[in-house]
Amino acid sequence: MKAKKKTVNINDIKKYFPDEWILLGNPEINEKNQAILSGILLYHSPDKKEVCYLGKPLISGYEKTALFFNRVTPHKKRSVIASLFYPVSQSNDLSI
């Protein structure tokens, strides 16, 4: 039996994975401002290439994926998120 992956909200991601690249499966997006609200955490690392390379086999079976960097500014501890959305295609190509 395959375990169901848990959805993680964006506040927990910001808190536990500062200054890391995050790969989410089936992200929930706020339609008004296109902000990521939650998703299934597939992979995270400070190294973007690692996330893309090792995360590639993990994205199959997901309708949508999101790759973003969770930057925490040093003096104010605010998170800044830059996102890249990848519709999952036949090739599942996340190459940089």
Tens of pLDDT, residues 3-27:
568 999 999 999 999 999 999 999 9
Task: Give the CA-trace dihedral at 55, 42, 94, 53, to 10 degrees.
Answer: -20
Nearest residue to 59 via CA among 18, 11, 24, 15: 24
Q: What is the pLDDT of residue 62?
A: 93
The CA-atom distances, in angstroms, between 70 and each of 12, 20, 80, 85 are 11, 6, 6, 15
Q: What is the pLDDT of residues 22-74, one digit of tens each?
A: 999 999 999 999 999 999 999 999 999 999 999 999 999 999 999 999 987 76
13: helix, strand or coil: helix
- Record the pTM: 0.73
